[in-house]
Amino acid sequence: MTTEPGQWIEELFPPAFGLTLNDILESKPPGDGEEENHDKTNVFEKVAKCQVSPLDVSAIKNVYQRVWLVTVLQEEQGRLKAREAAEKERAELHSAEVKGQDSCIWSAEELRVLREVFNAAKKQNVQLRAELQVTNEELAELRTANKTQSKMVHATSKNLSKAKKSNDRQRLLIENLKSQLDEANGRIRLLEGEVTRLHKEHSQNMAEMHDLRTYANKEHLEKAKLEIDTSALHADLEQEMLLREENLKSAHAHDLEYMQNLVDELTRELEKEKSDHQRTRKGLEHLRNHFSSLPMSGEGAPPGAVLQSQLKKWTI
């Protein structure tokens, strides 16, 4: 099985897009500039159609290397096409040399192209190594900065933990203060209601006090009037009492005189009664003595005679 020229490139760099080596090495007539540019444009359009993430650095480098290789190969292919006419005439003169070259794996021109590609790849490798060194230095700086930032993040985490604990305490304090505030607001509302009630009571008391003052003033006026009336009545009463006293004294003196006269008269009558009684008693005594000689009972006494026991009824 024979290997086509440039087959190792396809094996070494497998394409990541829909582009084959035949598309790259497709021969065109020399001097056809428009078609060559058109083909180059088609190649880049095919590369552009490849879906590569803008954040994947390795994929971007791979695409960049492949595009660069395609560009170099196209440029060399153009040079080969330009020299193809001149080499064709010399190929007839050096048929023996060409036959010897055909027996080899690669032709001299292909070897030259490969050398140029190798040199360009070597330069590109040096450039990439320099970029890699710069990238490593930047990576070291980034690692140092990362360590510093890690320390800062660690310190910040500690501060954040402390801040969280402080925030938790503050949150508990705020919740406690909110609870106290709610209780205080409840007490304030109760006190406001109590103040409103007391204000109403105060207003009512003030109105009642005003009414009482008005009533007191009225009573004071009435009292003053009553005092005046009482003074006048007292004066009239005193006058009337004096008059009644005089009348009573006069009536008492008259009654006393009448009673005295009555007593005198009764005394005289009593004296008279006593005198009459004395005389009656003396007469009865004489009668008792007179009848003492009479029998004590009714036996042997003449009819109609007075008994001694009957005389006791007449004795006083």
171-194: burial string, b at 16+ Cβ within 10 Å, e else: eeeeeeeeeeeeeeeeeeeeeeee
Phi, psi at 224, each rounded to 5°: -60, -40
Give me the phi and psi of 251, to 5 degrees please. Answer: -65, -40
Mean pLDDT of the chain: 73
Q: Which value, in Å, is the radius of gyration of the alpha carbons in the chain?
A: 83
**Percent of the chain residues topping a pLDDT of 90:** 4
Q: CB 268: neighbour CB atoms within 10 A?
A: 10
Residue 135 and residue 131: Cα distance in Å, rounded? 6
Ordered alpha helix ranges (H), the chain: 7-12, 21-25, 33-48, 57-93, 95-102, 108-291, 308-311
Return contacts of 94-101, CB within 8 angstroms, 24+ apart: none
pLDDT at 16 over 70: no
Highest mean pLDDT among 1-5, 13-17, 119-123, 203-207: 203-207
Give burial (CB, 10 Å; 0-12/13-18/19+) of 113: buried
Q: Which domain holds residue 126?
A: 7-159
Q: Judge residue 312's burial from the number of C-beta atoms within 10 Å of its C-beta, 0-12 exposed, 13-18 middle, 19 or more buried.
A: exposed
For residue 96, tell me if it sits in a domain. yes
pTM: predicted TM-score of the whole model, two decimal places: 0.27
HSE-CB of 151 using CA atoms within 13 angstroms? 5
Location of structure tokens 């026991």? 309
CA atoms within 13 A of residue 213's CA, in its CB half-sphere? 5
Q: Which amino acid is at 292?
A: S
Query: Does residue 81 fall inside a structural domain?
Result: yes
Judge contact between 2 and 104, C-beta under 8 A.
no
Spatial distance between the Cα atoms of 44 and 38, rounded to a whole number of angstroms: 10
- Confidence band for 95, pLDDT divided at 50, 70 and 90: low
170-224: pLDDT as tens digits: 889 999 999 999 999 998 999 998 889 998 888 988 888 888 888 888 888 888 8
Flag whether 82 is in a domain: yes
Which distant-in-sequence residues (6+ apart) come within 8 Å of 20 by Cβ? 10
Q: How confident is the model at residue 298 (pLDDT cuts 50, 70, 90)?
A: low
Residue 27 predicted with pLDDT over 50:
no
Vertex 177: Cα angle to 176 and 180 (nearest 5) = 90
Question: What is the mean predicted confidence (pLDDT) over 275-286?
Answer: 88
Most trustworthy range by pLDDT among 35-49, 64-78, 219-233, 293-307:
219-233
Separation CA 259–CA 253 (nearest Å): 10
Q: pLDDT (tens digit, 9 = 90+) per residue, 63-76? A: 666 667 767 777 77
**CA 61/CA 55 separation, integer angstroms:** 11
> Does 66 reside within a domain?
yes
Domain assignment present for 308: no
pLDDT at 131 over 60: yes
Residues 100-110 have pLDDT tens digits of 444 456 677 77
Number of domains in the chain: 1
| 189, part of any domain | no
User: In whole angstroms, what is the distance from residue 171 CA to residue 15 CA?
Assistant: 62
Q: Is residue 274 part of a domain?
A: no
Per-position b or e across 150-159, b if 16+ CB within 10 A of its CB: eeeeeeeeee
E strand or H helix at 312: none
Q: Taking residues 251-277, what's their average pLDDT?
A: 89
Q: Is the pLDDT of residue 147 over 50?
A: yes
Assigned domain for 307 exists? no
